[in-house]
């Protein structure tokens, strides 16, 4: 992938998991002094939360760990298949929704599950959606997303992306 690698993280509403992944990935890339190599965004498969800020509970968990972010939710569109090199789904449902939209086999190859890059996960595992649960679910999701984003960054930097599970 010549130039910057463009990554879009995708969840259902783009207010909990995908904005966390977007901002955590950039945070980790900055820490590794490689953030200039990446253009990162996030989107949702649904339009319910378009224009809304990220979920306050997730931002509260992130802030306690030193990550502060904001933004506005947007819906994933077919044009995003052309704009991004990698499209990273948070769960199997998001992946299925993306596969229904994808226009070409080449663009289908861009779609991955985030937990493919989580060394502690099962193959094809999903990032759980903590939206309707308690704060412990948000803590768990933060840990999962952080591990997976570290794994994704490592795979990109080592050139081993194709070896992901």
What is the set of active-site residues?
11, 17, 129
CB 131 within 8 A of CB 91: no
Distance CA 8, CA 136 (A): 26
DSSP-derived secondary structure letter, 38: E
Pairing of strands 111-113, 86-89: parallel
What are the start-end ranges of the H helices in the chain?
A: 17-31, 56-64, 80-83, 92-101, 105-108, 135-158
User: What dihedral do alpha carbons 51, 53, 55, 58 form, nearest 10°?
Assistant: 140
Region of 54 please: left (phi>0), alpha (psi -120 to 50) or beta.
beta
């Amino acid at each position: 992938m010549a130039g910057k690698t463009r990554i879009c993280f995708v969840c259902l509403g783009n207010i909990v998991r995908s904005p966390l992944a977007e901002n955590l990935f950039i945070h980790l890339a900055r820490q590794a002094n490689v953030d200039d190599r990446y253009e990162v965004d996030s989107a949702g498969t649904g339009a319910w939360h378009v224009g809304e800020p990220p979920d306050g509970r997730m931002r509260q968990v992130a802030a306690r760990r030193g990550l502060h972010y904001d933004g506005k939710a947007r819906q994933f569109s077919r044009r995003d298949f052309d704009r991004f090199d990698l499209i990273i789904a948070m769960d199997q449902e998001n992946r299925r929704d993306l596969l229904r939209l994808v226009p070409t086999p080449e663009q289908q190859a861009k779609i991955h599950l985030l937990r493919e890059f989580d060394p502690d996960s099962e193959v094809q595992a999903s990032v759980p959606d903590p939206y309707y649960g308690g704060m412990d679910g948000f803590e768990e999701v933060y840990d999962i997303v952080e591990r997976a984003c570290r794994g994704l960054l490592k795979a990109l930097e080592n050139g081993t992306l194709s070896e992901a599970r």
